Amino acid sequence: MNKKTPSSILSSSQTEFRSRAERIENGKTLRKQLPRESHAQWQASSKGRDPVGILEKCNQDRVAELIPIRYGRMLRSPFTFLRGSAALMAYDLASLPSTGIQVQACGDCHLLNFGYFATPERNLVFDLNDFDETHPAPWEWDLKRLVASIVVAGRDNDLADSDSLDAARSCVRSYREHLRQYSLMNPLEVWYERLDVKDIIANAPDAENRKLRQGIADKARKRIGEHLFPNITTLVGGRHRLVDQPPVIYHGAEEARDERVGDALADYRQSLPDERRHLLDRYRLEDTVLKVVGIGSVGTRCYVSLFFSEDNHPLLLQIKEARRSVLEPYTAKSKYENQGQRVVVGQRLTQSSSDIFLGWMKGRDGHDFYVRQLRDMKISYPIEGISGIRLKRYAEYCGWTLARAHAKSGDAATISGYLGKGKEFDQALGEFAVAYADQTEKDYAELVEAVSSGRVEAVVEEDL
Residue 251 sits in the same domain as residue 393: no
Average pLDDT, the chain: 92
Query: Which string of b and e fits 62-90 if b means at least 16 CB within 10 Å?
Result: bbeebbbbbbbbbbbbbbbbbbbbbbbbb
Same-domain pairing of 247 and 298: yes
Inside any domain, residue 3: no
Question: What's residue 257's pLDDT?
Answer: 58
Per-residue DSSP letter, 210: H
In a domain? residue 143: yes
Banded model confidence at residue 260, pLDDT cuts 50, 70, 90 = low
What letter would DSSP give residue 185? S
Q: pLDDT tens digit string along 348-404?
A: 999 999 999 999 999 888 999 999 999 888 889 999 999 999 999 999 999 999 999
233, 357: one domain = yes
Structural domain includes residue 54:
yes
pTM summary value: 0.93
In-domain check, residue 412: yes
Mean pLDDT of 205-234: 90
Name the amino acid, one letter, at 273: P
3 pLDDT higher than 80: no
**Boundary-marking domain end, from 373, 391, 409:** 373
Is the same domain home to 118 and 195? yes
Share of the chain above pLDDT 90, in %: 82
100 within domain boundaries: yes
Question: For position 45, what pLDDT does the model report?
Answer: 81
- Report which of 364, 371, 301, 316 is spatially closest to residue 340, judged by C-alpha positions: 371
Residue 437: phi and psi, rounded to 5, are -65, -40
Q: Is 59 helix (H, G, I), strand (E, B) or coil?
A: coil
C-alpha–C-alpha distance, residues 443 and 58, integer Å: 16
pLDDT of 340 over the 80 cut: yes
CA pair distance 291, 317, nearest whole angstrom: 12
Same structural domain, 168 and 96: yes
> Of 373, 402, 429, which residue constitutes the final position of a domain?
373
Asked if residue 39 and residue 125 are part of one domain, the reply reads yes
Residue 196 pLDDT greater than 90, yes or no: yes
Instruction: Tell me: do 337 and 396 sit in the same domain.
Output: no
The span from the CA of 4 to the CA of 6, in Å, is: 6
121-145 in b/e burial notation, b at 16+ Cβ within 10 A? eeebbbbbbbbbbbbbbbbbbbbbb
Of 355, 373, 391, which marks where a domain is finished? 373
Position 246 scores a pLDDT of: 86
Number of domains in the chain: 2
**Sequence-ordered strand ranges (E) for 191-347:** 195-196, 233-236, 239-242, 249-250, 283-291, 302-309, 314-321
Q: Are residues 174 and 197 in the same domain?
A: yes
Q: Are residues 94 and 147 in the same domain?
A: yes
Residues 368 and 417 in one domain: no
Mean pLDDT for 451-462 is 92
Q: How confident is the model at residue 1 (pLDDT cuts 50, 70, 90)?
A: very low
- With H, G, I as helix, E, B as strand and everything else as coil, classify residue 116: strand
Give backbone dihedrals phi and psi of 132, rounded to 5 degrees, phi first.
-55, -30
| pLDDT at position 10 | 40
pLDDT in tens, 136-175: 999 999 999 999 999 999 999 999 999 999 999 999 999 9
Domain assignment present for residue 170? The answer is yes
Would you tell me how many other CB atoms lie within 10 Å of the CB of residue 203?
12
Identify the band that residue 227 occupies on the pLDDT scale cut at 50, 70 and 90.
confident
- Where in the sequence is the domain holding 270, given as residue range(s)? 222-373
CB atoms within 10 A of CB 405: 25
Both 343 and 404 in one domain: the answer is no
pLDDT tens track for 358-368: 999 998 889 99
Sign of the alpha-carbon torsion through 405, 87, 424, 102? positive
Query: Does one domain contain both 216 and 226?
Result: no
Asked if the structure places residue 7 within a domain, the reply is: no
Decide if 205 is inside a domain: yes
SS3 321: strand
